[in-house]
Amino acid sequence: MVAAAAAAAQQHVSGGDSLILQEIRNGDQALSSKLDSKTAEITQSISGLKSMLDKLSSRVTEAEDRIGTAEDQLVDLDSRVVKLRKENDFLMEKVDQLENYSRRNNIRVINFGESCEGNDPVNFFVNWIPATLGQEHFTEPLIIERAHRAFGPRPPADQRPRPVLIRLLKCQDRDKILRIAAQRSRENKGPIKYDEYMAEIEKLETDILKLEKEFQQSGSKVLYQSLLNMKLKYNTLHTYKIEKAILRTKQRYYELGEKAHKILSWQLRKEESSRTINAIQTEAGSVSHNPVEINDTFKQFYANLYTSESPEDLTKMMNSYPFLEPTWALVTDVEKLLHEGNLWSDLCKDSLSATINARYRLVHYHFLHQLYLTPQKRHRSKPELSEMCFRCGIEVGSFLHCTWLCTK
């Protein structure tokens, strides 16, 4: 009985173990299959992420290349903009200069009644200007290229008439008319006045009026500063224009004692003093302060200069100029160069590679540019001498050939 029970129990245990093992195997297989499926999903996701990262990396690389190209283009565009801005400023100044130059023979007649000049204003003003200012001032007939009213609609009869613009052929006639008109204006005997505003001054006047209206409405400090800057520029240009206009009238004094007239007189004296030569050394060696002797000395000097001939002995002529004589320091440096092997010949052939330091460059510059007399220079002053190089005899002995290009 006992043996049978033990056998039955052992059989029951072995049967239970087999069931447990079977369950474990089944669970292991299920877990393995799930792990395999999950691993496959993860691997697939990683592969997708990798492809996306590759695409993103290629797009980032392409974007970097495009950004780099755009930056290079921006740098090039910035340099072009700076260059174009400079050219534009230069051309604007040139246009303004040409516009002012084209106006230098113009005069403007104001307060002249509409239609008084008739259908032929040129012939009318050819006769009217001498008759108004005085026929004795015009020994030759005036030559007027064109005359017309200022552009714009004709004003009503109770308003100020449009000014008349007259362009003369000779600037001397214009200056004469302005000078006589200024005198007549001071005497209150003539209606002619001139108003020679430059285009920039007219533009500044318009901008100043516009800014003043805006400043009255807003009271901005920025507008106030801009307004001050514009007024300063306007006053500077206007003063310069008035100074040049007064200089053209050749007036040297002012009757009134007001501050403005004193300033203009000071401007004229300053301009005249800057161009005046008060003393000069004559050929006799004496210093003269007489204006007549100063003018005669200048005239004689330039007459001798343009009619003189070069001396036969060029060495004597070169030695007569003290600014061509080398200083002691320069002679010492040149002697050092001449005694340091082939340094001098190398320096003449290739100055960039043979020049050791800035000191030798300075010596090289002074020696060659002040003391070296080339065959071409000697030929110009003395044609019987050959202008060919004295070493090779093939090329023209210019400064560049003798110092750098000649291989002999």
Summarised one tens digit per residue, pLDDT across range 244-259 is 665 555 554 444 444 4
Q: What average pLDDT score do residues 163-172 get?
A: 85
8 CA to centre of own chain: 118
CA 303 to CA 13: how far, in whole Å? 145
Residue 93 pLDDT > 60, yes or no?
Answer: yes
pLDDT at 177: 85
58 CA to centre of own chain: 46
pLDDT at 295: 84
Contact assessment for residue 109 and residue 192, using Cβ atoms and an 8 Å cutoff:
yes
Contact assessment for residue 105 and residue 113, using Cβ atoms and an 8 Å cutoff:
no
166, β-bridge pairs: 107, 147
Q: To 5 degrees, how large is the angle CA 368–CA 373–CA 379?
A: 150
The region of weakest confidence among 50-64, 134-148, 185-199, 238-252 is 185-199
Residue 320 pLDDT > 80, yes or no?
Answer: no
Residue 190 pLDDT > 50, yes or no?
Answer: no
Residue 359 pLDDT > 60, yes or no?
Answer: no
Pick 326 or 107 by higher pLDDT.
Answer: 107
Summarised one tens digit per residue, pLDDT across range 107-139 is 888 877 888 888 888 888 888 888 888 888 888
Q: To 5 degrees, how large is the angle CA 382–CA 378–CA 322?
A: 110
301 CA to centre of own chain: 38
Residue 234 pLDDT > 70, yes or no?
Answer: yes
pLDDT at 362: 56
Pick 321 or 278 by higher pLDDT.
Answer: 278
- Predicted confidence band at 282 (pLDDT cuts at 50, 70, 90)? confident
Q: What average pLDDT score do residues 311-320 get?
A: 55
Residue 315 pLDDT > 50, yes or no?
Answer: yes
pLDDT at 228: 84
Contact assessment for residue 347 and residue 355, using Cβ atoms and an 8 Å cutoff:
yes
Q: What average pLDDT score do residues 376-400 get?
A: 76
Summarised one tens digit per residue, pLDDT across range 169-179 is 888 888 888 88
The region that residue 251 occupies, defined by phi over 0 for left and psi between -120 and 50 for alpha, beta otherwise, is beta
Task: For residue 279, give the 3-state DSSP assignment.
Answer: coil
The region of weakest confidence among 211-225, 269-283, 292-306 is 269-283
Measured CA to CA in angstroms, residue 291 lies from 270, 271, 279 at distances of: 18, 18, 8
- Residue linked to tokens 């010492």: 332
pLDDT at 281: 83
